[in-house]
Structure 1
Amino acid sequence: MDVLHGLTQDIYHRSDRLGRPVVTLSYAQSLDGSLTTQANMRLMISGAESKLLTHQLRAVHQGILIGIGTLLTDNPRLTARLAGGPHPQPVILDGSLRTPSDCALMQREDLKPWIFCREDVPVEREQILAEKGARIFRVKSEEEDGRLSLGEILRSLKKHGMSSVMVEGGAEVIASFLLSRLVDQVVITIAPFWAGGVQVRGNFLREGQLPEIIDPQMMQLGRDMVIWGLLGEGNHEAQDAVFHGARRN
């Protein structure tokens, strides 16, 4: 499939040039941009064909990354079973180490999760998860909002041999990667319904530029539309909207 070839071409050289893994942002949304109907609730968005594509994408990436919110809501296994593997290394952003020791990822026999947390998390929490097989990484937090440093996390993944990582969500994690300008390519599935729920939000405009798919490619898979391509920045000048009232005769 063109999307798989296009996004994995020259992946190792690209990663070496960046000094971090190549980041693929992939998620499904409704027509109004909703990832789910409300917080802490799972919504099945992708159809069968686009879900298969998601598993194929997982199979060609070395890592797959989610936030603790997605873990607690969906309790995923993050495998590429529909594609027959290989399975990517699960990576969790969990600042406070809230990952349940009995979650589906902790019960996998093949790949235990790598969990990134803040430097000040109590050692007791780390020991519980480490004894179950998880690998814990303590990283610095950003001074502005206290969130984990995505740049440091990506450099750590590269140091441990990872050249490609697929970011699946949730909404805050997606927004953080876009705001940090750390997304290299995207695959977004758009389902043909409205959900009126949780969307990816953020002030993405920076010095007149917004994250933008360069030369976007589109295809239909079953009922869904998939848009994909490399990410860059496009110039977008803010303009004042002026309403002109209708003339009265």
Structure 2
Amino acid sequence: MQPIDVNSRVWDRLLAVRQGLSCTCCGRWSQNENAALALYGPLARRDLGPITVAQIGQSLDGRIATVTGDARDVSGPDGLAHLHRMRALVDGVVIGVRTALHDSPRLTVRLCKGPNPARIVIDPRGRLPDDAPLLRADGTRRIVIQAVDRPRPAGVEVIRLNDRESLLDPAQILSALRAKGLSTLMIEGGGITISRFLEARRLTRLQVAVAPLLIGAGPQGLTMPSPTEKLSDAIRPQTRAFSLGSDVVFDCALDDTALAAGVPLHARPARLARP
């Protein structure tokens, strides 16, 4: 497991890479600085083509909240900083409507320097109220993906897709967002939304940030809609582990784009999907 050092010089380089003004391969860096460039560099790059990364923070026993729904302090301070760095490097952040209603997230970048991503909510039935925090006008793009003809406030972009049993197809969602110029996307939550994109094989990468606490019960991080019955059929991504400080992040490569970016090193051959 490699510790990372995200100092101002490293972060300025990553932001320059995001703008197409620099690269992650040049310069003199310490081992921990190189680890930070390896972890965040593939998200900052725009020469790899469309990328979809999912990030989830959970406890040691795989929980993302308590039985009462308290999820505020699952991730430690370094885990939260990691999430905000990822937001700053992607074009848009996607969440499901249940997460939007329960957590009222702002989806802004506050714990590091960098631009706010487009805020995107998957809301098939149009349940999200127009005064939700992520729909507030602040100069950042706001997008609602829905299956109903529900009007939204001026400035909020609406993507209308056909649904099936109140579910929207991950492939169609990504295609529609890419058509709007959003190439690098992060699926931030919740666990059900991430699991649906994972099972649909639409993720380039998956990052699981684990905090050192035991909750004992509560919602699990990832629950696949159609779980495998045999371990031999399980998804076995190539994985690297990085120490963030308060948390540990497992960075998983899920398709050829991630592997082309050099992720991961010194790992077993990947089984990217069930046959």
TM-score, reference length from structure 2: 0.73
Amino acid at match of 2:106: R
**Which structure 2 residues correspond to residues 188-207 of structure 1 after superposition, within 5 A?**
188-195=208-215, 196-199=217-220, 200-202=222-224, 203-205=226-228
| Counterpart-to-counterpart distance in 1, 2:116 and 2:65 | 25
In the alignment, the residues of structure 2 paired with residue 94 and residue 38 of structure 1 have an alpha-carbon distance, to the nearest angstrom, of 24
Pick the aligned partner of 1:178 from 179, 193, 198: 198
Alignment partner of 1:166 out of 178, 183, 186: 186
1:42 to 71, 74, 86: 71
Among 30, 33, 49, the residue aligned to 1:14: 49
* TM-superposed deviation, 1:235: 8.0
Between stretches 100-109 and 228-237, larger displacement belongs to 228-237
- The 3-state SS of whatever aligns with 1:211 is coil
Q: Which runs of 5+ in 1 are unaligned?
A: 16-21, 238-249
Structure with more contact order per residue of length (Cα contacts < 8 Å, sep ≥ 6): 1
- What's 1:138 paired with? 160
CA RMSD, aligned part only? Answer: 2.3
Counterpart contact for 2:69–2:218, Cα < 8 Å: no
The offset of 1:222, in angstroms, is 2.2
Segments of 4+ moved more than 4 angstroms: none
Residue 111 to residue 206, structure 1, CA distance change in 2 (3 Å): farther
Q: Quote how far apart the aligned CAs of 1:164 are.
A: 0.6
Look up the equivalent residue of 1:231 and give its one-letter code: L
Question: How many residues in Structure 1 have an aligned counterpart in Structure 2?
Answer: 220
The letter for the 1-side match of 2:41 is: H
1:1-249 matches, within 5 Å, as 1=36, 2-9=38-45, 11-15=46-50, 22-38=51-67, 40-118=69-147, 121=148, 123=149, 126-127=150-151, 129-131=152-154, 133-142=155-164, 145-195=165-215, 196-199=217-220, 200-202=222-224, 203-205=226-228, 209-214=233-238, 216-232=239-255, 234=271
CA distance in structure 2 between the partners assigned to 1:225 and 1:235 by the alignment: 22
Contact 1:114 1:137 in 2 (8 A): yes
